Amino acid sequence: MGKIIFYEDKNFQGRSYEGTSDCADMSSHLSRCNSCRVESGCFMVYERNNYMGNQHFMKRGEYPDYMSMMGMGSGIRSCRMIPMYKGQYRMKIYERENFGGQSNEMMDDCDNIQDRYRMSDCQSCHVMDGHWLMYEQPQYRGRMMYMRPGEYRSFRDMMSGQRFMSMRRITDMC
């Protein structure tokens, strides 16, 4: 089970809210969030309510000035706990929306889909096993998105202009 503590001000000051599960709207607990401490587990934090907007992966540690460190202009508005997973990882990626175009099945990290699979783009996927982070640029850079098991028919619908060029399994001890 994970535990994260959010603070209204930098350096763990001001009112706080302790989370141990998903929270779609933090505004009912805090007016803003400028620092946080992950005591156990792993979490995705989002800059908008309902798990929308830019997101960041948080593992055990202290984040005393979260907004300037991560570049989230409006702070953290929702969070999702990532469950611990100890199994096989499998995901099928597709070049086009609705599972069209070239496809490849992955079982491990990929730092550049263009170099590895000769795919110029990734617009949909089916996560069969495990939890993954997908990045908009090669080498695990740029904006990221958390993908849990399920079908994702169109990344464009999920995040405007989003495309993914590298993927990595969440294997941290969450």
Show pLDDT as tens, one digit a residue, over the chain (174 residues): 799 999 999 999 999 999 999 999 999 899 888 899 999 999 999 988 999 888 899 999 999 987 665 655 667 889 999 998 989 999 999 999 999 999 999 999 999 999 999 998 899 999 999 999 999 999 999 889 999 999 999 988 776 667 799 999 998 765
Q: Are 166 and 135 in contact (CB under 8 A)?
A: yes
- Work out how many domains the chain is built from and give that number: 2
Q: Is residue 174 domain-resident?
A: no
97 in the same domain as 76: no
Q: 106 — alpha (psi -120 to 50), left (phi > 0) or beta?
A: beta
109 in the same domain as 132: yes
Q: Does the model's pTM come out above 0.85?
A: yes
* Alpha-carbon torsion, ordered 137, 113, 125, 84, to 10 deg: -70
Q: Which domain holds residue 51?
A: 3-82
The DSSP symbol for 77 reads: -
Helix, strand, or coil here: 28?
helix
8 in the same domain as 72: yes
β-sheet bridge partners, residue 17: 6
CATH number at residue 123: 2.60.20.10
108 in the same domain as 68: no
State which of 65, 82, 99 marks the end of a domain.
Answer: 82
What DSSP element (H or E) covers 35?
strand 35-40
Give the pLDDT confidence score for residue 75 in this predicted structure: 77
100 in the same domain as 144: yes
* Pairing state between β 132-137 and 141-147: antiparallel
β-sheet bridge partners, residue 5: 18, 37
State which of 82, 117, 150 marks the end of a domain.
Answer: 82
113 in the same domain as 61: no
State which of 82, 102, 126 marks the end of a domain.
Answer: 82
Give the pLDDT confidence score for residue 173 in this predicted structure: 62
* Pairing state between β 166-169 and 42-48: unpaired
Q: Is residue 165 domain-resident?
A: yes
154 in the same domain as 99: yes
60 in the same domain as 12: yes
Question: First CA to last CA across the chain, in angstroms?
Answer: 8
Structure tokens at 4: 């994260």
What is the biggest distance separating any 2 CA atoms in the chain, rounded to whole angstroms?
51
Q: Are 6 and 30 in contact (CB under 8 A)?
A: yes
Give the pLDDT confidence score for residue 7 in this predicted structure: 94
Q: Is residue 113 domain-resident?
A: yes
CA 12 from chain centre, in angstroms, equals 23
